[in-house]
Amino acid sequence: MDKNQKKFYPDYLFEILLVCLFALEGALLLSYVFPPVTGSPVDFSRNFMPRPEWYFLALYQMFKYFPGRLAFIGVAVIPAAIIFLVFALPFLEKTHSRRLSDRKFSALVVAVILISAVVLTVLSYY
């Protein structure tokens, strides 16, 4: 067997433990500098539009573009279609090549979805 070939132990395990240590340090630092803020107690009479966690902001922003009876398109049809695409991805692509350059159409669709999600997230701050 090739002496230079990486093994799970010690090479890969060491790499993973190293990045996990950095991840823990990052989480500890953020916890110390920005601890979570607990708001006021629930006031049922004071209705307001709170911001969700950052990973739901794109969905929250899309909700604004489909008012009234069309709302389900923004909050159900489009997200369900994207989730379906994600799940079916290995079965939708015809090529068995792993290279991105051999699956340009797929890459284009994924790029459009990702850029849209980022743009919607940024727009939700305004």
Partner 1 sequence: MINPFSIIDRRLGLKRHYRRIFERPLPEGVTYFYCLGGIAFFFLIVLTFTGVVLSFYYVPSASEAYHTIRFIDGKLPGGASMPGGWLMRALHVWAASGMVAAVMAHMLRVYITGSYKPPRELNWVVGATLFVLTMAFGFSGYLLPWDQKAYWATTVGTAMPKTIPVIGNFIMELLRGGPDVTGITLLRFYVMHVYILPLVSIFLLWAHFHMIRRQGISGGL
Q: Which is nearer to partner 1, 75 or 123 (CB)?
A: 75
Which string of DSSP letters, residue by residue, matches 71-114? HHIIIIIHHHHHHHHHHHHHHH-------GGG-HHHHHHHHHHH
User: Which whole-number Å values give the CA distances from 92 to 27, 87, 115, 117, 119, in the listed order?
Assistant: 38, 10, 21, 22, 26
Contact positions vs partner 1 (CB under 8 A)? 1, 5-9, 11-13, 15-16, 19-20, 23-24, 26-28, 30-32, 34-36, 38-44, 46-56, 60, 63, 69, 71-72, 75-76, 83, 86-87, 89-91, 96-100, 103, 110, 114
Give the type of residue at 111.
A
Q: Which is nearer to partner 1, 59 or 123 (CB)?
A: 59
Q: Which is nearer to partner 1, 24 or 119 (CB)?
A: 24
CB of 126 to partner 1, least distance (A): 19
